[in-house]
Amino acid sequence: MTLAGRDFLAMTDLSAPELLEVLGLARDLKAGKSSQVGRGKTLGLLFRKASTRTRVSFSVAMYQLGGQVIDLDPSVTQVGRGEPTQDTARVLDRYVDALAIRTFAQEELAVFAHYCRIPIINALTDREHPCQALADLLTMQESFGALAGLTLSYIGDGNNVAHSLMLGCAIAGVNVRVACPEGFMPDPDIVAQAQTLARTSEVIVTHDPVRVASAAHVLYADVWASMGQESQAQDRAPIFQPYQVNEALLTHADPKAIVLHCLPAHRGEEITDGVMEGPQSRIWDQAENRLHVQKALLASILTP
């Protein structure tokens, strides 16, 4: 495995061949291939943000690889009392074999990566959510057989999920379109980076949800107010209402289009209940695939 011992802080830490390698291993593991590469090893979970899918999928993945998991809850460790990040990093580096970190600032991951010899995995920051993008790409690959030439349309807030999708799709040769309200567009640096990476595909950012949905193979929804922005949810609702993924918007997509949502969902807000439970939804497959891609990622980086 080319990823042995490496950090995974952002989608751009993977080249196109490496991305396809991880997805291929995820398919094999999902189909029943066994690996015990984690035997005798411990994964630390340092989560400053609440989590269901990320926490459980990483834990199950590591257990299935033969390893153990320790939950480094900030509320019951010195992390929550303000111990300097570099001090925590150097201590944990001597205890565990890899760290999955879910936090606010991307810069915190960089500090851990600098002071740790063990692999650091981005389990979500305010800037990126690369493990989610891996699961999304695997779900698309399962649905259509190949990634190159597909079109994914993300509709909603230009947040961390949008960032990793733009980068991941660009690397994989997938056309990516993003529609956001004025004032909620993705980071211009991420957009420019994705456009540079997209050698065989296109990256479009607009305010028009119908335009991005037209003939798309994937419609993607996410919450209108991410973690830490809950106080803004009521004010955002009328701004984002035209960006709801609903039955009317779905008629503009390819007839065989699928619908994705990274969860948790606010049914009746960013996505209707009918679309979420409809025949084109692959949301539960997508959620399951968090386990398989993270298991593949762990197996890759923990390989001696």
129 is catalytic: yes
Model-wide pTM > 0.85 = yes
Catalytic residue among 7, 136, 222, 254: 222
- Residue 266 a catalytic site member: no
Query: What is the fold, at CATH topology level, of the domain defined by 132-286?
Result: Rossmann fold (3.40.50)
Give tens-digit pLDDT for 212-270: 999 999 999 999 987 777 778 889 999 999 999 999 999 999 999 999 999 999 999 99
Per annotation, catalytic residue among 55, 131, 132, 180 = 132
Residue ranges of the chain assigned to CATH 3.40.50.1370: 11-128+291-302, 132-286
**Superfamily covering domain 11-128+291-302:** Aspartate/ornithine carbamoyltransferase (3.40.50.1370)
Catalytic residue among 116, 180, 262, 294: 262
Mean pLDDT, contiguous 10-residue spans, the chain (304 residues): 92 97 98 97 97 98 98 93 96 98 98 98 98 98 97 98 98 98 98 97 98 98 84 90 98 98 97 98 98 98 94
Three-class secondary structure assignment of the chain: CCCCCCCECCHHHCCHHHHHHHHHHHHHHHCCCCCCCCCCCEEEEEECCCCCHHHHHHHHHHHHCCCEEEECCHHHCHHHHCCCHHHHHHHHCCCCCEEEEECCCHHHHHHHHHHCCCCEEECCCCCCCHHHHHHHHHHHHHHHCCCCCCEEEEECCCCHHHHHHHHHHHHHCCEEEEECCCCCCCCHHHHHHHHHHCCCCCEEEECCHHHHHCCCCEEEECCCCCCCCHHHHHHHHHHHHHHCECHHHHCCCCCCCEEEECCCCCECCCECHHHHCCCCECHHHHHHHHHHHHHHHHHHHHCC
Known catalytic residue at 132 = yes
For the question of residue 290 being annotated catalytic, the response is: yes
> Per the residue annotation, which of 261, 290, 292, 294 is the catalytic one?
290
Q: What is the pLDDT of residues 104-130, one digit of tens each?
A: 999 999 999 999 999 999 999 999 999
